[in-house]
Structure 1
Amino acid sequence: MAVSLVVLASRPGDWTQARFTEWWRGPHADAAKRLPGLIAYRHGAVTKDYDSPEVPGWDGHAVLTFADQAALDAAFASPEWAAATAQTKGMGGRRIILVTEEVDLLAGGGNG
């Protein structure tokens, strides 16, 4: 079963959302794309935060998908992971990171 690393993040306090998105889709994506076993990598820039429309709490999300947990674990242990995450050290902002097991509900996956 595919597993995904899902990251929800806000930018550093002194960055604009445009700068954060440019960095995430540019240098940071270039590093993350090198992760061994990565089979899909998507990024979304937040355009509306329904829970906080006046002052959005989040600026973007990423979903990095691997064939299974073993592939994700191998990526975590890789020098490519160390290089990609080194870019975020001391950056500021907030984040939530989840590991999920995914099924495609449009393709008939799941329990229903």
Structure 2
Amino acid sequence: MRLTLLVLCAVALFAQSAIAQSPLWQVQPSICISQQEGENCEFEVDITLLNLPAGQYCVALVNTVLRCATGAEFPLKITMLINKNSELRLLNSAQEILISHSLIVKSQQANMQRRRLRNPWSLF
């Protein structure tokens, strides 16, 4: 009985410490609004790191590194320019992806395309 209780306590403690050590980050805002579809959208992103050990980290937009900083320099403000949905990635010093976050571009006006009212062919 005591052994079972001891094992359950050890498992619960290990699970709790594993959850506390998982790296997290907050990226705000995640959505940029442009005037028209396909137009470049410039916005400033605030990045905050949580539960990461001290070290060097880089923020990359898909495969392009935007900025590198130590864990103590976070939160960061990074200005970026995107024209389509992209992925922001946090890389460690070995250039491995730790976390990723989607950035979405929305437009106020959609591309104006005229819809055809009748078929381009006819049997008669």
Q: Which has the higher contact order (CA 8 A, sep 6+)?
A: 1
Pair in the same fold by TM > 0.5 = no
**TM-score, structure 1 length as denominator?**
0.30
Please tell me whether Structure 1 or Structure 2 has the larger radius of gyration of its CA atoms. 2
> Which structure: greater helix fraction?
1
**Larger proportion of strand:** 2
Normalised TM-score (structure 2)? 0.28
